[in-house]
Amino acid sequence: MTTANDVHLIDLVRTVLKMVIDPELGQNVVDLGMIYEITVTDGCIIGILMTTTTRGCPATDFIRQGIEECAWHVDGVELVNVRLTYDPPWAPSMMTPEIAALLG
């Protein structure tokens, strides 16, 4: 069951993840649609399911590390578990409309 505190923590994590920039596209991973899910368990453990724009992306480790480090800095977070998936594969349609318009 998701509590109000969990929702607040998820919102805070999502906000700080906007600091993580995909070096190829120059935009943040949240607005690019690369963050598939953020969960909270036991009130303080953050799970982040993410993807990259392509399999074998040379920036995968860089992006993943940035995501983990940003999430760690949120008050109340005690553990961060970042998982990578390609199901579903990332597509430009996952970007926010503003970023899609900006990137053309």
Model pLDDT for residues 44-94, shown as the tens digit of each residue: 999 999 999 999 999 999 999 999 999 999 999 999 999 999 999 999 999
Question: Does residue 29 register a pLDDT over 90?
Answer: yes
Higher pLDDT, 24 or 104: 24
Locus of tokens 């009130």: 43
Higher pLDDT, 2 or 46: 46
pTM: 0.94
* Closest alpha carbon to 74 in 5, 30, 4, 10: 10
Helical (H) or strand (E) element with 47 = strand 45-50
